[in-house]
Amino acid sequence: MSTLIVLLPLESTGSAGPLDYVLTPDGHSVGSHDRAPAALLPVATATELVAVVPAQALSWHRVELPKGSLQRSALGRAADTPRLRALLEGLLEERLLEEPAELHFAVQPDAPSEGPVWVAACNRAWLRSALAVLEASQRTVARIVPEFTPLAEGSDRVHILGTPEAAQIVHAGPQGIHLLPLNHATLAMALAGAADTLEIIAEPAVASMAEQLAQRPVTLQHSAERWLASAHGRWDLAQFDLTNSGSSRAWKNLAGHTERMLQAPAWRPARWGVGLLLLAQLIGLNAWAWKESHSLEAKRKTIRDSLTQTFPQVKLVVNAPVQMARELDLLRQSVGATSARDLEPMLSALGAVLPPQTSASQLDFSPGEIRLKGLDPAPGPDAITSLRSSGYSLRSEGNLLVLQAANGAAP
């Protein structure tokens, strides 16, 4: 799935200010990395837009929520309720440098019902202003993700970012995210206790400085690769009052999660299984259709053979049942026999059900049909039922009674 990843600027630059972005054609590799105003972002070629909040804009806090305070939404994550928001404001009030009402909060995905929970906080006005620049350019953000997130035990990493003139250390680990200016003392502090085993990841511009200070090689990682990894994370900061911002964010979010699931390498065996199942169904349906068609053709051939064997003079078979009926009529005529569609059998059947002394003022006959006018007395329901059992139908048309031989009536 193609995704556009945009880094939200720390300073307000307005709609004309350039934004760093990464365009990935498949969600796994960097296609292009550049800067452009919001109106010129290549969103038309992407199916999802992800906004990345810089590490400098977020603070991380670990809180112990009261039991039962977390409610689950239909998707299984913590429900963004006003009660939870008020609870977070009370728990974090003494830890924050700003007023809680001025901050936006987000709770970690799959937050446990008991135990410590990570909460990210950033300035609400800044975040709304940064998102408004994208919304004003008809760029609807599907997800809002942090640039760095706390890691599990034993997964500490040290990132070196920026330029040689303003290099920074970002230490990500189980204790949260910590930012420090890069120098020998701060790097030693970040590496304390695990200087030889802790992974150091540096941007190309500051890699040489990081190697000199750490006295060992570092892993190179471009900022575009880091933002792509951030977009793959499970965090979504669009919570509480930002949950419904943008009319289509929720649908795009759901569509994005679905498409990522369908394209994720872990789901490849399942996709192959579904594909093979559909292929087997297709082959089975075609085999069943061929078998039914072959059976139907065999029955048609049996009917044609029955016609040509019974009446050898028929050389061309167009409609076997009609031709068979015609040949039988001709055969009856040749031997002087009557059929159920002739006048005598039809009058005999009608006379058998009519009361004695019944008369009609007019009778019209055509093969298989008799029209009677002024029939007195008129036949009752029992007569109609008896005629139906003999292969005839009787109905009224105005002042006429119409007797018809049903198709396939016995001679």
The one-letter code for the residue type at 66 is P
- pLDDT value for 342: 80
- pLDDT value for 73: 52
pLDDT string in tens for the chain (411-residue length):
688 999 999 987 777 789 999 999 887 888 889 999 988 888 756 668 999 999 999 999 999 888 877 765 544 455 567 888 898 999 998 888 889 999 999 999 888 877 889 999 999 999 999 999 988 888 888 899 999 999 988 788 999 999 999 999 999 998 899 999 999 999 988 888 665 678 899 999 999 999 999 888 999 999 999 999 999 998 999 888 887 544 445 555 555 556 656 666 777 788 888 889 999 999 999 999 999 999 999 998 898 888 888 888 888 888 888 888 788 878 877 776 677 778 888 888 888 888 777 778 888 888 888 898 887 777 778 888 888 888 888 888 878 888 888 764 444
Runs of H (alpha helix) within 93-222: 124-136, 184-190, 207-214
Contact between 340 and 350 under an 8 Å Cβ cutoff? The reply is: no
**Cα–Cα distance for residue pair 273/114, rounded to 1 Å:** 38
What SS3 class is residue 330? helix
Question: In angstroms, what CA-CA distances link 266 with 258, 270, 271, 272, 275?
Answer: 14, 8, 10, 11, 16
How many other CB atoms are there within 10 angstroms of residue 71's CB atom?
A: 12
**Cα–Cα distance for residue pair 279/52, rounded to 1 Å:** 41
How many other CB atoms are there within 10 angstroms of residue 386's CB atom?
A: 15
Burial group, residue 224, by CB count within 10 angstroms (0-12, 13-18, 19+): buried
For residue 232, give both structure tokens. 């793959």
- pLDDT value for 46: 60
Residue carrying structure tokens 């609400």: 124
The one-letter code for the residue type at 194 is A
176-181-185 Cα angle (round to 5): 95
DSSP string, 260-322: HHHH-GGGHHHHHHHHHHHHHHHHHHHHHHHHHHHHHHHHHHHHHHHHHHH-TT----S-HHH
**Cα–Cα distance for residue pair 152/161, rounded to 1 Å:** 22
Closest to 182 measured CA to CA, from 159, 204, 155: 159
Closest to 21 measured CA to CA, from 51, 55, 54: 51
pTM of the model: 0.61
C-alpha of 196 from chain center: 48
Q: Are strands 176-181 and 168-173 parallel, antiparallel or unpaired?
A: antiparallel
- pLDDT value for 411: 43
